[in-house]
Amino acid sequence: MTPQQLRAFCLEFNASAEEFPFGPETSVFKVLGKMFALSALDGRPLTVNLKCDPDEAVRLREKYDAVVPGWHMNKRHWNTVTVSGVPDRVLRELVEDSYDLVVAGLPKADRLRLDRA
């Protein structure tokens, strides 16, 4: 997945937005103000920080060398994924799972509005 494809995929989700609170080089993708993905899209290699269920985070780190504890993040709940190190399908699932975890923490009215009850 290219940086442009990663950006486009993150922005496909309901109410998602790209912001730059840490400077112009770091894209932060949020849903209703809550972060679900963070990436320096011009970084080499391309990596993305994604929220993850703690048990699943450990399993993914054991399965893929390209998945490590989240850099500058809560290492229990976030993974840093080297994009080229996982299959495209897996990366898409990880991004969607991250989005869903963040949405699950939103108030019920917001979840319903996003059609993700």
Give yes or no for residue 43 having a pLDDT over 80.
yes
Please compute the mean of the pLDDT values over residues 85-94 and round it to a whole number.
97
Q: How far apart are CA 108 and CA 117, in angstroms?
A: 7
Give yes or no for residue 117 having a pLDDT over 90.
no
pLDDT at 116: 58
Q: To the nearest whole percent, how much of the chain has pLDDT over 70?
A: 98
- Both tokens of 7, joined, read 């950006």
